[in-house]
Amino acid sequence: MAISYNKLWKILIDRDMSKTEFRKKADIGTATLAKLGKNQQVSMDVLLRICAVLKCDISEIMDVKHSEG
């Protein structure tokens, strides 16, 4: 299973928001921002804070891709 936060980065670009500004508004640390950048798992609490700041649904910031096998 793979996670992609490409939708999140697109929202930030569309809203002309820097990653630093986003990080501060969402109250997430630099390590968590790095995890998002590497498409790694982060806690549900972090995802919900991101959604609250961006006023969006979780499906608007990430995709989950299941590996076929």
Instruction: Delimit the domains of the chain by residue range.
Output: 2-65
What letter would DSSP give residue 7?
H
Q: Does residue 67 or residue 22 have the better pLDDT?
A: 22
* Whole-structure pTM value: 0.90
Nearest Cα to Cα of residue 46 among 2, 3, 1, 16: 3
Phi, psi of 56 (to 5 degrees): -145, 175
User: What is the model's pLDDT at position 69?
Assistant: 57
The reply to whether CATH 1.10.260.40 applies to domain 2-65 is yes
Q: Quick check: 59 pLDDT over 60?
A: yes
Q: Quick check: 57 pLDDT over 60?
A: yes
30-37 helix and 19-26 helix, angle to the nearest 10 degrees: 120
